[in-house]
Structure 1
Amino acid sequence: MKILKWFLWITITTVVLGALTVAGLYLFLKDDLPSVAELKQVQLQTPMQVYSADGELIAQFGEIRRIPLQLDEIPKPLIQAFLATEDQRFYEHFGIDPIGVARAFFLLVSTGEIQGGGSTITQQLARNFYLSFEQTWSRKVKEAFISLRMEKELSKDEILELYLNKITFGHRAHGVGAAAQVYYGKDVKDLTLAQMAMIAGLPKAPSTMNPISNPERAEQRRAVVLGRMLAEGFITDSQYRQALAEPIATKLHGAEVTMDAPYLAEMVRAEMVNRYGEEMAYTSGFKVYITANAKQQRAAQQAVRLNLHGYDERHGYRGPEQVLWPADAEPWTAEAINQHLQTQENIGLTEPAVVVEVAGQQATVQLSNGRLGRLEWSALAWARPYLHADRQGPAPQQAADVLKVGEQVRVRQTEQGWRLAQIPEPSAAIIALRPQDGGIAAAVGGYSFSVSQYNRAIQAKRQAGSNIKPFIYSAALENGFTLATLVNDAPINQWNPGSGIAWRPRNSPDVYEGPIRVRQGLAKSKNVVSVRLLRALGVDTTVEYLTRFGFAIDELPRNESLSLGSASMTPLEVARGYAVFANGGYLVNPYFIERIEDSQGEILYSARPAVACVLCESGEREVLPAPQVITEQNAFLITQGLQSAVWGGGSWQHRTGWNGTAWRVQQSKPLIKRAGRNVVGKTGTTNDVKDTWFSGYVSGLVTTAWVGFDNLERALGSTTMNENLSSAEQPISGTEAGAKTALPMWIDFMEVAVQDVPVEPFIVPPGLVSARIDLATGKLSRANDYTSRFEYFLPGTAPSEYAKGETNRDIFAEDDSIF
């Protein structure tokens, strides 16, 4: 009895002391424990994701990659794999597993050190959220207290869901959703049993047991997980053996980006960091929806890339990137070639390849992963030697004239097969806006973001060339000129006493027609007409007027070169200016973020852009009106002039027909075949062809295209026809220009983009009158034939005289100084 009494006293004392110890430890550590509110509102660090307007993922930003999932979104076998391996009694214990604790205590007694193991899923979650991974008594005690509190405040399913979304799997993947994407490029629901087992085995040692860093250890760990699942009865023996035999086939996958728009994505990233700071922007799980849709953005990127390849091909082949072995050396093995190609990156549309055979008019190249590609003669015939920007060598006759075995080159995939390629040397940009509110419909800032992150669409200030002329003409119409006013298209020779030289602006081409109507001057892009208009208005008046279109006054030169486009502007600034003509006279502010959502889908920000007041007057929704900077009538008249740039005028039957500089638009059936669709635009080319532009619009979409070299000293040059190619295969030759270099890119984009733009004609606004004029004099006409046309005028500006007899072609002899 004495022994029993002593045993009871010792037991009671031990229990009381243990309870007091636990209570003391709790009081000592309670300030370091998380609050109930923290447990109920756990915030998982998730990356920022950027989506197109139609919901396609274009980018993900943040070191931690996580795809939060609800428990019912995670496949049952994957959950069972974790339970079998990490905590088979998860749904029975209270956060601490006595059996696991006993096992850990035995390890402590037998080794004298605190060992791993014994931790439940709840304890692992507590450690991941709030503690370090150091093996100390204090950490283990805190872990236990936090686990007990978690079990009290959260349900088992809530704890398991947090655990599966929180734990680390290596390669910056956190949570099972991200692990499935990183290792297999799949959604969790699409994983095989073997892949689920692999993922479930990673938390034990994510950096050293993952299938990318250590496939052997990963396979061993997978076998352990499958064995535990079999032992727990979660899988059958047949499933076990089948999964065990599945090969370790994995590679590192990026985010599941479904639309490649890196320049737009970078614009969003910079804006979000500016708004929220780096840490919050990259970890708060923001979902950012942009104004661009996937279809138009893809079309813009494709147009930029294909047209730069077109430029590069007509200017000649610059040779291989490197020679891997000389002609008299032993050829590399296919394995050696493949190992080398693994170190080379794909750029834009191009892939690196090595020439392994050349015969007659074809060649064979080896691509990465041992693939072979055949280059037919149609893929090689373009490759005349590049000599310089204005000269190409003779057209090749055989494949050996272009390629040699052992050379590393680039190829690109086309509908006809592989084609010899090279990374284009010039740069290009496209920016498209919705003119009603300024929403960016597409933006591409260069050929390849991996080569250059410089976004030329919004950052490159380049001389605008003739793209500036519509703004000059708009100022003229505001100050008394009409589309029928005659201006002298004659050479200008102005002596400058200060410089001691004469200024002689010239047309391009160097052709002069004498007095022509303002409509013709704009459509034909007559340089001297633009200069005479600016002289009539005055430089200061013109500069002040151009600021209405959003151009900074201190960036507009105060001299007559302004009329020829000496001002430097970004493509975005140019497109914004053209949007004023497209929307009826309103200056909108470009924007690219439509809305921002938090990780729970709550809207934090929704764009409220200022819109063209045509929408305001509809009464359908409350909107912020954009300022009206020119009249609706002025905008319509400029649109009329730009329409003539596309369609020209006169009568080809009577040999008076003429083309505007944008006549190539007529050849685009997708753009002009829809009844009621009006397409207008303006070319632009600077001195020495260093910048080429095309800006144009339909009702509902404005687009500016630019092509040039980043090096301001380099000109785009000229080409001759390649005798190997037909005119259809090489439709462009001669000196590069806005109409040849930038316009084809604009057409390629717009042919796709307008498919999502409603067909609406440009409506004649109220307040304009129409009168039939004589085409030669701009005066009223009674004729009803090819010598006349109807023209639009502001009230009181229509001519009052009728044309009589022959026109005096020396009409400006006495007042040439005015014009």
Structure 2
Amino acid sequence: MRLIQFVLFLTIALFTLGIISFVGLYDYVKPQLPTVADLKSVRLQEPMRIYSAEGELMAEFGEKRRNPVLFENIPEQLINAFIAIEDTRYYEHQGIDPIGILRAIFVAASSGSTSQGASTITQQLARNITEIGNERSIERKIKEVFLAFDIEKNLNKQEILALYLNTIFMGQRSYGIGAAAYTYFGKSLNELTLAEMALLAGLPKAPSDYNPINSVARATDRRNIVLRRMLEENFITIDEYNQARNEPINAKYHQAKVAFSSPYITEAVRQEMYRRYGEDAYTGGFKVYTTITKKLQLAGEQALRNNILSYDMRHGYRGAVALIWDHQEGTPEENAITDYLKTVVPLADFIPAAVMDINKEENTATLLFSDGSRKILSHKGVKWARKYINERSQGPSPKRVSDVIHVGEQIWVRYYKDELWLTQEPEVNSALVSLDSNTGEVQALVGGFDFQQSKFNRATQALRQIGSNIKPFFYAAALDKGLSLATVFNDAPITSWNPSSLKSWSPKNSPNVYEGPMRLRQALGLSKNVVMVRVVRAIGVEAAADFLERFGFPEGNIDRTEAMSLGSPSFTPMQVARGYAVFANGGFLIEPYFITRVIDGEDKMVFEAKPKIACAECNIPSIYGESEKIAAIAYEEIEDMAQSEGNENILSNEEKEVEFISSENQSGGYAPRVISGEVAFLMRDALNSNVFGEPGWNGTGWRAGKVLAPRKDIGGKTGTTNSSKDAWFSGYGANIVTSVWVGFDDNRKTLGSGTAWPGDPDGISGGEAGAKTAQPAWNHYMKVALENIEEKNFPAPPGIISLSIDKYSGQLSNGGPTRKEYFIKGTEPSTYFVEELGTEIEDEASGQTQELF
């Protein structure tokens, strides 16, 4: 009896001691554990997804791929598969499984190791969503147990399962069953077969070992174990088991369903999101909707690429990418060649190929591709490939394929008009930016030929000399000061002496042709450099530089010298497009943007763009007030001074200091007006002349009129810098403004001159310049962008009048060659053109006559 009492007492004592120890241990560990409230509100890390304006996926950023699913959307057999292999007694225990723990203790005691696990699904969840860790230790297990108790106490079994199945790591950067189903099978959960569900359920034990991408054999074995456990637990029948066990595994890595990839714009979005949200941008499940539409973005990319390739083909072939083998030493195994081709980094729509054979009789080459297929490259596909000598020189047109390529070489080919053509990685690069001129909405943005080739975004980051693309801004300054498009300046050579540098400056026209006095409209259309210099002298260098800032150009990029008039400042294509938008929208400085809204992981709107818009029809004054006018100066005096060689300023150089008013303060949500509607109208009309010209002369942008015919609501300006290092075309059509730049990243290199290649749809050859080098991309993009957009009528503002003038003098017409011209009221000519008649005088001594005038 005493022995029984002792044992009973000891049992009670040990039990009490155990409870006290348990409570004490719980009090010690509890501060280190997250609260269940935290678990209920745990935010599942989801990648950032970027969408087009139509809602199509463009990119995904983030280390963890996760597609959270609701419990009611999880197939029952998928749940059964996890329970069968991970936690058979899941619905019976309260967070820990004593039987499993005893089994693990027995194994540890008998083997001396802790290789046998006993974690329930609840314990695994505790470990997955907290920082308890994965090391095998008593402390970690104790924490798991206590947290598992809390989880079971505060969450029901369905909530626990849903959280577990959405957080468990499944390999290949996939977290949760939703992401894993797509990663391995490209399916949603309700599309999975029983065998595929079993495979997924087998992954958590060792995702790197059991996933079918790493090893089909190990994945098959593990899947079959899961199926057997499901059969043992009566979750499936023997027929279902046999059918699923015999099902072959057809798994491969599936990336996110990207509708179209435009990495330059999506990278710009990523950077902006990181600036706003930091590292949370990659884990917060943000859905970022952009202004980009698939049609216009792809049109911009295609126009830019085709234009670059056309330039590259004009300048000749620089040779093969590499020599894979020396054909004189024998041909390697075909597998070795295809393995090499598979390692080549993809570029644009190019295809890497190996030259296997040259058939001299048929004048063709046999090419091998990475998939083992062979195709024929004909002479037509290499006919363009004159030998590259330098930027200005190319060799003769090749007569035979063997003149260009050789056996053993790795080359690039592409399909052009459904035929295989030789191609090469271009060295020149380009950028294209297209905006809605009324809102600032970015409609297309292309930062280079290919993101894999270079991640540098030339559209937003490349500061390049603007060349003649700058001229419209200075002409606008002249109009703002009271000159008109009929004002005559002398197109004649200029030489200026700089006493500080002891050097002379002699700006030249391009081409080097001078035509004497001409109206500003014609001078802009023909891009006369010396007239531009005279205009800047007329309004003053400082006033012209200040005026540039109105268009959003940074002050630090503007060099306040006369060279500025010919485009020495450097701006990005985005800045240039924004500046040209001022002309297109009636005088307003819009703010470019490419994110319309951001939705967080809880489907809450956390950002919505509210752009300040342009409203040409609204009576909104310029934020700079009324500029100083020169209308009071006699027209004859303006003409005399404009044609002179001197450096006089016919206008005051002093600008009234005006504080820039933020668009935030504009009533009605309007962008700030930086030039008057009258000046904007005149410049838009002048840029239209740059495309369509007048009887007797064509503007430098005449090709746009050919490509976009019959539209007439277009205008633009070419731009070429010294030595043709940079080529531009910027302009508008309806409410779309677009700027294109072409040049070498190494700005020491010139664009040179090239030879037209067979089949070039634009037929470009000769010296490279804005009209030839950049404008074709603008033309072909705008042709797509303006499809189904009604031609826009730009009505004249109330302050504009129309008069007939003499085409040569700019004075009122008196019956000679005339044209209609627009004027801001008060700047129109007041005198009529009078043709001076010659007067003969007779020399009394000789009796000969001569002309007096």
The normalised TM-score by structure 1 is 0.91
**Residue in 1 that maps onto 2:443:** 441
C-alpha separation in 2, matches of 1:388 and 1:788: 48
C-alpha separation in 2, matches of 1:188 and 1:395: 59
C-alpha separation in 1, matches of 2:550 and 2:719: 21
C-alpha separation in 1, matches of 2:338 and 2:667: 61
Spell out, residue by residue over 1:120-173, the C-alpha distance to the aligned partner (whole angstroms, 9 max, x if none). 211111111222112222222221221121122222222111111111122322
Q: Contact conserved, 1:104 with 1:118, CA < 8 A, in 2?
A: yes
Distance 1:459 1:120, change over 3 A: same
Q: 1:628 aligned to 2:673?
A: yes
Q: Contact conserved, 1:314 with 1:730, CA < 8 A, in 2?
A: no
Q: Contact conserved, 1:183 with 1:252, CA < 8 A, in 2?
A: yes
C-alpha separation in 2, matches of 1:444 and 1:544: 30
| C-alpha RMSD of matched pairs (Å) | 2.6
Give the deviation of 1:497 after TM superposition: 4.6
Distance 1:623 1:444, change over 3 A: farther
User: Which one-letter code corresponds to 2:531 in the other structure?
Assistant: V
Distance 1:74 1:779, change over 3 A: farther
C-alpha separation in 2, matches of 1:186 and 1:637: 58
**Residue in 2 that maps onto 1:396:** 398
User: Which one-letter code corresponds to 1:666 in the other structure?
Assistant: G
Q: Contact conserved, 2:814 with 2:834, CA < 8 A, in 1?
A: no
Distance 1:79 1:412, change over 3 A: farther
**Residue in 1 that maps onto 2:614:** 612
Q: Contact conserved, 2:393 with 2:754, CA < 8 A, in 1?
A: yes
For the residue of structure 2 that corresponds to 1:532, the secondary structure is helix
Give the deviation of 1:539 after TM superposition: 0.9
Structure 1 runs not aligned, ≥5 long: 651-655, 809-819
**Residue in 2 that maps onto 1:70:** 70
**Residue in 2 that maps onto 1:269:** 270
Distance 1:13 1:110, change over 3 A: same
**Residue in 2 that maps onto 1:484:** 486
Q: Contact conserved, 2:616 with 2:677, CA < 8 A, in 1?
A: no
For the residue of structure 1 that corresponds to 2:808, the secondary structure is coil
Q: Contact conserved, 2:438 with 2:614, CA < 8 A, in 1?
A: yes
**Residue in 2 that maps onto 1:346:** 346
For the residue of structure 2 that corresponds to 1:546, the secondary structure is helix
Q: Contact conserved, 1:672 with 1:679, CA < 8 A, in 2?
A: no
Give the deviation of 1:32 after TM superposition: 1.8
Give the deviation of 1:417 after TM superposition: 3.5
**Residue in 1 that maps onto 2:630:** none
Q: 1:736 aligned to 2:768?
A: yes
For the residue of structure 1 that corresponds to 2:50, the secondary structure is strand
Give the deviation of 1:60 after TM superposition: 2.3
Pairing partner for 1:663 from 698, 702, 723: 702
Q: Contact conserved, 1:776 with 1:807, CA < 8 A, in 2?
A: no
Q: 1:361 aligned to 2:363?
A: yes
C-alpha separation in 2, matches of 1:187 and 1:792: 64
Q: Contact conserved, 1:36 with 1:153, CA < 8 A, in 2?
A: yes
**Residue in 1 that maps onto 2:467:** 465
For the residue of structure 1 that corresponds to 2:329, the secondary structure is coil
**Residue in 1 that maps onto 2:632:** none
Distance 1:495 1:23, change over 3 A: closer
Q: 1:754 aligned to 2:786?
A: yes
For the residue of structure 2 that corresponds to 1:432, the secondary structure is strand
Spell out, residue by residue over 1:195-252, the C-alpha distance to the aligned partner (whole angstroms, 9 max, x if none). 3332221110112222233333222212222333344444455554444344444444
C-alpha separation in 2, matches of 1:616 and 1:602: 35
For the residue of structure 1 that corresponds to 2:152, the secondary structure is helix
Q: Contact conserved, 2:108 with 2:116, CA < 8 A, in 1?
A: no
C-alpha separation in 1, matches of 2:289 and 2:683: 34
Q: 1:648 aligned to 2:702?
A: no
**Residue in 1 that maps onto 2:505:** 503
C-alpha separation in 1, matches of 2:388 and 2:350: 19
Q: 1:711 aligned to 2:712?
A: no
C-alpha separation in 1, matches of 2:255 and 2:177: 15
Distance 1:304 1:730, change over 3 A: closer
C-alpha separation in 2, matches of 1:373 and 1:179: 38
User: Which one-letter code corresponds to 1:667 in the other structure?
Assistant: K
**Residue in 2 that maps onto 1:544:** 546
Q: Contact conserved, 1:386 with 1:392, CA < 8 A, in 2?
A: yes
Give the deviation of 1:430 after TM superposition: 0.8
Q: Contact conserved, 1:358 with 1:400, CA < 8 A, in 2?
A: yes
Alignment of 1:52-67 (within 5 A): 52-67=52-67
Spell out, residue by residue over 1:268-290, the C-alpha distance to the aligned partner (whole angstroms, 9 max, x if none). 2222222233x322222222222
For the residue of structure 2 that corresponds to 1:208, the secondary structure is helix
Alignment of 1:21-170 (within 5 A): 21-130=21-130, 131-170=132-171
**Residue in 1 that maps onto 2:721:** 686
Spell out, residue by residue over 1:738-758, the C-alpha distance to the aligned partner (whole angstroms, 9 max, x if none). 111111111222222234756
Structure 2 runs not aligned, ≥5 long: 621-665, 839-853
Q: Contact conserved, 1:611 with 1:623, CA < 8 A, in 2?
A: no
Give the deviation of 1:94 after TM superposition: 2.6
For the residue of structure 2 that corresponds to 1:431, the secondary structure is strand
C-alpha separation in 1, matches of 2:374 and 2:496: 64
Spell out, residue by residue over 1:605-647, the C-alpha distance to the aligned partner (whole angstroms, 9 max, x if none). 22233322448779xx985332211001101100001001111
User: Which one-letter code corresponds to 1:642 in the other structure?
Assistant: L
User: Which one-letter code corresponds to 2:510 in the other structure?
Assistant: S
Q: Contact conserved, 2:346 with 2:452, CA < 8 A, in 1?
A: no
Alignment of 1:137-536 (within 5 A): 137-277=138-278, 279-359=279-359, 360-536=362-538
Q: Contact conserved, 1:180 with 1:199, CA < 8 A, in 2?
A: yes
User: Which one-letter code corresponds to 1:721 in the other structure?
Assistant: A
Alignment of 1:786-805 (within 5 A): 787-805=817-835
For the residue of structure 2 that corresponds to 1:118, the secondary structure is coil
The normalised TM-score by structure 2 is 0.87
**Residue in 2 that maps onto 1:815:** none
Q: Contact conserved, 1:305 with 1:349, CA < 8 A, in 2?
A: no
Name whichever of 458-467 and 131-140 sits farther off: 131-140
Distance 1:358 1:285, change over 3 A: same
Give the deviation of 1:731 after TM superposition: 0.8
For the residue of structure 1 that corresponds to 2:460, the secondary structure is helix
**Residue in 1 that maps onto 2:555:** 553
For the residue of structure 2 that corresponds to 1:140, the secondary structure is helix
Give the deviation of 1:341 after TM superposition: 1.5
Whichever of the two has the greater Rg, that structure is: 2
**Residue in 2 that maps onto 1:774:** 806
User: Which one-letter code corresponds to 2:828 in the other structure?
Assistant: A
Spell out, residue by residue over 1:661-716, the C-alpha distance to the aligned partner (whole angstroms, 9 max, x if none). 11111222xx4446xx6111111011111000010112322111000001111011
Q: Contact conserved, 1:470 with 1:638, CA < 8 A, in 2?
A: yes
C-alpha separation in 1, matches of 2:219 and 2:437: 56
C-alpha separation in 2, matches of 1:81 and 1:615: 67
Spell out, residue by residue over 1:285-326, the C-alpha distance to the aligned partner (whole angstroms, 9 max, x if none). 222222322322222222222211111112111111111111
Spell out, residue by residue over 1:72-108, the C-alpha distance to the aligned partner (whole angstroms, 9 max, x if none). 3444443333233222343343322344334323323
C-alpha separation in 2, matches of 1:756 and 1:166: 48
Distance 1:50 1:315, change over 3 A: same
C-alpha separation in 2, matches of 1:155 and 1:146: 14
Count of aligned pairs between the two proteins: 790
Distance 1:529 1:193, change over 3 A: farther
Give the deviation of 1:63 after TM superposition: 2.2
User: Which one-letter code corresponds to 2:140 in the other structure?
Assistant: R
